[in-house]
């Protein structure tokens, strides 16, 4: 017997039968399966008591079976609910019979009965009962509702959001608010629901306009309100639509009376190009550090900072820090002594990089070599204390001296409160008046060498902060509502000022004011340590407070008499001038106190002088020029390209060259360090015996045709050298899209501006060449020049030929001026080198000047009265924006080691001295003399000299225009002497004493007056007959 599956697969079912023919299957003896009964309520599931309304009344259930239909089947059910069978609706039986052979079910109708009772909505529930003749399936129960027509219960309305929406274009990205009203209360008549629309999205702008109401149609209990976003191009982020149901008597608000739809923005912000902001907060600028120092920065960015790298002199120190706070412990003992530059690089998640402003620090791991200067309120003296505590009197600081501050050149500035002046002392103690006209009390310099001073209203009501430019020009930086005293700058250039109301105010560099801390009793002196912590001397409470950069306050020292002035030395120890006890206390960083000095009267301001332990006894002068100022991204010849053409900065030092010397610099300009050219480290080292060193500018190609970019290199001050007049230089980077002239470009500089017959000490010119198309290593090159000035070629200096050849491989050549000793007294003479036309382009500076100083004494017939200083016993003053400025170069003095220079100012400006104890007696036939050097870039229109004979200043002579209206022209009070002397050279001025009515007079004062411009004065006195 074979068995075949429906798809024809054969198998053997049985074997061994004898010739089988027909076969059949016997009927099954198993009982047939029972049918399955089901029950549901029909739609609509609610009806109304009949009463004439246009509303459906009848409702029903439906019962059916699955399985065999070969016989009748009676299905039983229970009747339940809140409505009563036969009372609230016509009586129904508790079973139905499904006839044999019927494939359809049977309905059970519910016919509500009218009554007058207010009873609300009632329910009828049918549930199948088990029976041996069927199985109970699912569904097996249902409920219908009978609405009362005697009282309408208000519908309950709720709202929900169906999902989120998005800006995706017309007809896309929409979603709905879903409104539901309860089906078991209220009416099925049309119902209007009111609402408000809010959220961050704007109706009609961010989505299609919507009204503030929606109506449920008759018999509808769920409806929707479509929110269709409007696709725009604005980057605005996700926005919300908030729908809130409004109250109304036609309905009540359910549990969900408000819903929110979020509209997702499909616009992306542009690629982030904002570089992180990074500021070094510790150590402070110009701080002296030793041992292990914590270097800290604040870094922020709109997309987040992912790393901060610290650099010392342009080289990385430590690993990149990837998490805040960004603090690095720097072991300074492995760093050479001297000045160094700290910077920090911060990068963000988008790859942008920001660099901090440089912070200059002085590493000093040797013994302290700074002298302490102290102002004594009672005596008016400025005392100087050596490192071992030995005391000497440096000078007189006037009446009631308070604040002290040093500039980068080592000049000391003193605020004399009762004099109403700020005095300036040169390193050798010569005093002059820097400013006047206010009750100056506190002093501090910012990093740009501007002097800031606090000035209280002596009635204690208000106060001011004045800012003085290096030339003495005064502006008002801020006005305060209480009297200020001490002040100090942090490393970020923010100014902190102590106020008489117990507050410390903070001013950003642009003058924005905030209160840093308050509640300190009579704060006076302020000082920052190397970690950026502010120390405050509280004179009223006898304490010194320490305040961290984030404003946390603690008491550093207490039990003092009246702490006033504060200053840190190079080793990090804090010094306090105690006003009442006369003691100078020294505190270690841990707060251990010792008495450094005593018996100082009533000390107020204190300051440390330059770190002489780091300076050479003969500090060299360092300058910089651009030897080859042109660099090119790529050098081309035909279709081939070669390496970039480089530019070159040349650093020069004058003075002792026996030891190596490191000079520091800052880089700026429109080109970016490390992006447009290979990174520069921030310092260069002169080898022992070398007078110059070079730094190359190697462009980084970017394959873009662009205008020229600049690299500006500026020397940074340092205690190991002096920055000369050539303090910065500029190089240019060009590409194929912008090429200057194909000619060589030449310039001239005076790199050693002062020569002398002593030695002789030689002067030095430097002539440079640059070209963007050729490497300087390819060819030698000859440049021609002329010589002029008051010195004669071959007479006052060894003969120079008028040309110089720049060797192959070099960007410059020198022209040396060797003076010839004439053995007679002469003025300081000038050698002016001017470039001469040739096969090249001459660019500025096209000329330069070397000064030859005489080494012979003045003749016996001349009496020097003003030379290197004012006469003994004199006091000084200035007006019109002028000041006493003593200078040793630019220009070199006519005679001696320094001359006095006016400020550059408009109109009438002058500086003077008076009441000199060292007087000048003028005899019959004597001639009054002075020497002047007019600034060639800013010559005055008139200059005048006045002398004071103890009774009157009306003894004057003038040169140039008659613009200074003092005296009567043509008389002794205003004697014309002719045209202005030539600028750019020392010129002797002679005035016969008789012309200004000064024969047989004794002079005790002299006034140096200009109209516009600037001049330098020297070698003033008289010449007598032999």
* 312 to 328, 350, 683: CA distances (angstroms): 12, 25, 10
Contacts of 635 (CB under 8 A, 6+ apart): 641, 642, 643, 644, 645, 773, 775
pLDDT tens by residue, 178-203: 999 876 554 567 889 999 999 999 99
How far apart (Å, rounded) are the C-alpha atoms in residues 798 and 821? Answer: 10
Proportion of the chain above pLDDT 70, given as a percent: 92
770 within 8 A of 745, measured Cβ to Cβ: yes
Q: Lowest mean pLDDT of 339-353, 614-628, 629-643, name the range.
A: 629-643
444 within 8 A of 405, measured Cβ to Cβ: yes
Strands 543-547 and 135-147: unpaired
Nearest to 714 by CA among 676, 673, 769: 673
Strands 292-300 and 812-817: unpaired
Strands 191-198 and 287-289: unpaired
Nearest to 120 by CA among 27, 212, 204, 184: 184
What percent of the chain is helix, strand and coil (3-state, nearest 5)? 0, 50, 50
How far apart (Å, rounded) are the C-alpha atoms in residues 440 and 418? Answer: 8
How far apart (Å, rounded) are the C-alpha atoms in residues 216 and 786? Answer: 103
Nearest to 768 by CA among 694, 872, 716: 694
Nearest to 1002 by CA among 950, 957, 954, 952: 950
pLDDT: which is higher, 739 or 905? 905
Global pTM exceeds 0.95: no
Dihedral sign for Cα 876, 878, 883, 885, please: negative
pLDDT confidence of residue 616: 38
496 within 8 A of 516, measured Cβ to Cβ: yes
Structure token pair of residue 219: 């018999």
Q: Which residue has the tokens 């004071």?
A: 948
Nearest to 601 by CA among 401, 370, 356: 401
Structure token pair of residue 813: 């050549």
pLDDT confidence of residue 643: 59
Domains of the chain in start order, with CATH, are 36-147 (2.60.40.2030), 155-264 (2.60.40.2030), 277-363 (2.60.40.10), 372-614 (2.120.10.30), 621-652+705-853 (2.60.40.2030), 862-1023 (2.60.120.260)
How far apart (Å, rounded) are the C-alpha atoms in residues 303 and 328? Answer: 24
How far apart (Å, rounded) are the C-alpha atoms in residues 724 and 754? Answer: 12
Helix (H, G, I), strand (E, B) or coil at 340: strand
pLDDT tens by residue, 842-876: 999 999 999 998 877 788 889 999 988 999 988 89
pLDDT confidence of residue 908: 95
pLDDT confidence of residue 736: 60
How far apart (Å, rounded) are the C-alpha atoms in residues 787 and 777? Answer: 29
Helices first, then strands: H and E counts in the chain: 0, 86
Q: How many residues does the chain have?
A: 1026
- The pLDDT confidence band at residue 772, using thresholds 50, 70 and 90, is low
What is the CA angle 868-873-878, rounded to 5? 70
Structure token pair of residue 748: 């001239």
User: Does residue 831 register a pLDDT over 80?
Assistant: yes
How far apart (Å, rounded) are the C-alpha atoms in residues 284 and 530? Answer: 6
How far apart (Å, rounded) are the C-alpha atoms in residues 992 and 981? Answer: 17
What's 118-169 look like in SS3? CCCCEEEEEEECCECCEEEEEEEEEEEEEECCCCCCCEEEEEEECCCEECCC
How far apart (Å, rounded) are the C-alpha atoms in residues 900 and 1008? Answer: 10
pLDDT tens by residue, 584-635: 999 998 899 999 999 889 999 999 886 544 333 447 889 999 988 888 876 5
692 within 8 A of 620, measured Cβ to Cβ: no
- The pLDDT confidence band at residue 151, using thresholds 50, 70 and 90, is low
Torsion of CA 116, 117, 123, 127, to 10 degrees: -80
Distance between alpha carbon 163 and the CA centroid of its chain, in Å?
46
Structure token pair of residue 860: 């016996």
Contacts of 202 (CB under 8 A, 6+ apart): none
Nearest to 227 by CA among 215, 239, 218: 239
pLDDT tens by residue, 96-143: 999 998 877 899 999 999 887 767 788 999 999 999 999 999 999 999
Structure token pair of residue 950: 């103890």
């Amino acid at each position: 017997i074979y068995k075949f599956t429906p798809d024809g697969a054969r198998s053997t079912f049985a074997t061994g039968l004898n010739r089988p023919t027909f076969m059949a299957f016997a009927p099954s003896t198993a009982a047939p399966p029972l049918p399955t009964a089901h029950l549901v309520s029909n739609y609509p599931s609610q009806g109304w008591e009949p009463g004439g309304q246009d509303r459906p009344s009848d409702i029903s259930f439906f019962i059916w079976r699955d399985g065999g239909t070969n016989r009748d089947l009676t299905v039983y059910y229970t009747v339940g609910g809140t409505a009563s069978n036969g009372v609230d609706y016509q009586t129904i039986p508790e079973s139905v019979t499904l006839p044999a052979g019927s494939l359809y079910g049977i309905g059970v109708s519910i016919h509500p009965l009218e009554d007058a009772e207010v009873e609300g909505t009632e329910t009828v529930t049918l549930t199948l009962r088990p029976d041996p003749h069927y199985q109970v399936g699912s569904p097996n129960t249902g409920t219908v509702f009978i609405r009362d027509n005697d009282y309408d219960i208000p519908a309950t309305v709720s709202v929900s959001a169906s999902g989120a929406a998005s800006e995706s274009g017309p007809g896309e990205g929409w979603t709905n608010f879903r409104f539901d009203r309860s089906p078991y209360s209220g009416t099925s008549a049309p119902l209007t629901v009111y609402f408000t629309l809010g959220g961050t999205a704007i109706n009609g702008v961010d989505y299609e306009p919507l009204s503030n109401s929606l109506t449920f149609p008759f018999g509808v209990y769920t409806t929707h309100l479509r929110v269709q976003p409007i696709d725009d191009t604005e980057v605005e982020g996700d926005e919300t639509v908030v729908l809130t149901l409004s109250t109304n008597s036609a309905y009540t608000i359910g549990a969900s009376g408000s819903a929110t739809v979020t509209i997702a923005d499909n616009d992306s912000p542009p690629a982030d190009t904002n570089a992180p902001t990074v500021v070094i907060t510790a150590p402070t600028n110009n701080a002296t550090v030793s041992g292990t120092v914590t270097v800290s920065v604040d870094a922020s960015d709109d997309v987040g900072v992912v790393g901060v790298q610290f650099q010392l002199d342009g080289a990385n120190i430590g690993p990149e820090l990837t998490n805040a706070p960004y603090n690095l412990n720097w072991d300074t003992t492995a760093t050479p002594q001297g000045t160094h530059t700290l910077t920090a690089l911060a990068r963000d998640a988008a790859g942008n990089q920001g660099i901090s402003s440089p912070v200059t620090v002085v590493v000093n791991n040797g013994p302290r070599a700074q002298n302490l200067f102290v102002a004594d309120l009672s005596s008016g003296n400025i005392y100087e204390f050596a490192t071992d505590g030995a005391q000497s009197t440096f000078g007189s600081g006037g009446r009631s001296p308070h604040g002290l501050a040093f500039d980068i050149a080592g000049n000391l500035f003193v605020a004399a409160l009762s004099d109403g002046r700020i005095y300036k002392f040169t390193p050798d103690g010569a005093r002059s008046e820097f400013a006047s006209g206010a009750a100056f009390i506190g002093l501090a310099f910012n990093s740009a060498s501007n002097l800031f001073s606090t000035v209280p209203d002596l009635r204690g009501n208000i106060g001011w902060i004045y800012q003085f430019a290096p030339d003495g020009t005064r502006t008002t930086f801020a006005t305060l509502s209480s009297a200020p005293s001490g002040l100090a700058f942090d490393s970020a250039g923010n100014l902190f000022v102590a106020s008489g109301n117990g507050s410390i105010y903070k001013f950003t560099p642009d003058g924005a004011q905030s209160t840093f801390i308050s509640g300190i009793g009579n704060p006076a002196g302020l000082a920052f340590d190397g970690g950026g912590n502010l120390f405050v001397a509280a004179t009223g409470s006898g304490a010194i407070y320490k305040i961290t950069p984030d404003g946390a306050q603690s008491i550093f020292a207490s039990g003092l008499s009246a702490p006033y002035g504060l200053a840190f030395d190079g080793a990090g120890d804090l010094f306090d001038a105690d006003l009442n006890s006369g003691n100078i206390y020294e505190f270690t960083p841990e707060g251990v106190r010792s008495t450094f000095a005593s018996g100082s009267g009533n000390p107020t301001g204190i300051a440390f002088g330059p770190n002489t332990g780091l300076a050479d006894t003969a500090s060299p002068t360092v300058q910089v020029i651009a030897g080859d100022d042109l660099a090119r991204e790529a050098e081309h010849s035909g279709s081939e390209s070669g390496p970039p053409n480089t530019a070159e900065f040349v650093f020069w030092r004058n003075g002792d060259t026996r030891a190596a010397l490191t000079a520091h610099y800052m880089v700026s300009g429109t080109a970016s360090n490390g992006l447009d050219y290979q990174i520069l480290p921030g310092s260069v080292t002169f080898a022992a015996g070398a007078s110059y060193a070079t730094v190359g500018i190697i462009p980084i190609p970017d394959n873009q045709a662009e205008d020229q970019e600049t690299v500006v290199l500026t020397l940074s001050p340092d205690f190991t050298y002096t920055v000369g007049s050539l303090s910065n230089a500029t190089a240019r980077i060009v590409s194929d899209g912008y090429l200057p002239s194909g000619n060589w470009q030449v310039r001239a500089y005076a790199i050693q501006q002062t020569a002398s017959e002593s030695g002789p000490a030689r002067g030095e010119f430097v002539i440079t060449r640059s070209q963007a198309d050729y490497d300087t290593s390819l060819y030698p090159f000859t440049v021609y020049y002329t010589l002029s000035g008051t010195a004669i070629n071959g007479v006052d200096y060894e003969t120079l030929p008028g040309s110089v050849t720049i060797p192959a491989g070099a960007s410059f050549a020198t022209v040396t001026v060797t003076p010839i000793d004439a053995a007679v007294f002469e003025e300081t003479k000038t050698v002016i080198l001017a470039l001469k036309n040739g096969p090249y382009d001459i660019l500025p500076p096209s000329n330069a000047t070397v000064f030859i100083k005489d080494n012979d004494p003045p003749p016996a017939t001349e009496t020097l009265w003003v030379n290197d200083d004012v006469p003994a016993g004199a006091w000084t003053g200035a007006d019109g924006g002028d000041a006493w400025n003593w200078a040793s170069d630019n220009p070199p003095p006519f005679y001696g080691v320094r001359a006095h220079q006016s400020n550059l100012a408009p109109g009438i400006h002058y500086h003077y001295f008076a009441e000199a104890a060292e007087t000048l007696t003028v005899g019959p036939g004597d001639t009054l003399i002075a020497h002047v050097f007019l600034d060639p870039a800013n010559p005055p229109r008139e200059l005048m000299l006045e002398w004071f004979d103890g009774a009157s200043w009306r003894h004057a002579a003038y040169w140039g225009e008659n613009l200074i209206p003092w005296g009567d022209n043509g008389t002794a009070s205003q004697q014309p002497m002719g045209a202005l002397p030539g600028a750019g050279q020392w010129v002797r001025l002679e005035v016969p004493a008789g012309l200004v009515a000064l024969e047989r007079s004794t002079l005790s004062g002299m006034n140096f007056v200009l109209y516009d411009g600037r001049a330098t004065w020297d070698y003033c006195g008289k010449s007598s007959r032999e």
